[in-house]
Amino acid sequence: SPVHPARFIVEATKNIPENAIYAADGGSVTIFGWTYSQFQPRDLVWNQNTGHLGTGLPYAIGAAIATEGKRPVVLVTGDSSFMFHIAELETAARKNLPIVTIVGCDYAWGLEVGCWKKQVGPDSPETEAHWGKGVRFDQIAKGFGAEGVYVEREEDIGPAVERAIASGKPTVIQVPIEPYANAMDAPNYEEFKSWYTDFKAGYGAEAEDAY
């Protein structure tokens, strides 16, 4: 502990039942998910190129309502993206929707930290890219009327996910993940970087000159 983000994805996704709807959100956590997910969803809700971070929980709620709560919904997300619309936990709890949210917490804007370190240098300050480690999403979930679980050991993640899905209750599982690995070791980062941070690679030299 903290858990390596690749192991976090493996453990978070290995016990998801076949009929589950998968929701994805976040930066580095989602990039790790592309490579290490153990679950191949029949239905996926994910906002990548057409929107913003934070859509995971609202999308999960929409999916659960659309299926009348008859299918579990599993959201795997990063902590920063989860905070965008965390108040929607009240909706999930009030409607008693079977949504299990698994939050990988590096207590930072992990993707931005990685971009800064790779573009500016390893000693870049990443001003305001980090936030307090005292935030407890499991307790926040309970405050909204949902269930909350805090897991530190990788071997406890899978069983926690399995129990939460079996309960049918809206549940948040918080897992601290290793921040440096989350920022710097995302698989296939160079391909991602080519359309996320490299303006020239993404739009061409002419557009860069115009900019």
Interval 54-65 mean pLDDT: 96
pTM as predicted: 0.89
Confidence of residue 115 (pLDDT cuts 50, 70, 90): confident
Q: What is the pLDDT of residue 39?
A: 96
For position 83, which CATH number holds?
A: 3.40.50.970
**Which one has a higher pLDDT value, 38 or 211?**
38
Determine the Cα–Cα distance for residues 39 and 10; give it in Å rounded to an integer: 9
User: Which residue is associated with the tokens 């918080």?
Assistant: 174
Phi-psi region of 148 (alpha: psi -120 to 50; beta: other; left: phi over 0): beta
Six-digit token string for 35: 């490579």
Work out the pLDDT band at 53, boundaries 50, 70, 90: confident
Structure tokens at 203: 């739009």
Residue 180 neighbours by CB distance under 10 Å: 14
Count up the domains in the chain and report the number: 1
**How far apart are alpha carbons 109 and 126 in whole angstroms?**
9
CA distance 13 to 162: 10
Its domain, for residue 152, covers 5-210
Identify the residue whose tokens are 């690749």: 6
pLDDT tens track for 144-164: 999 999 999 999 999 999 999
16, 165 contact by CB (below 8 A): yes
Amino acid residing at 76: V
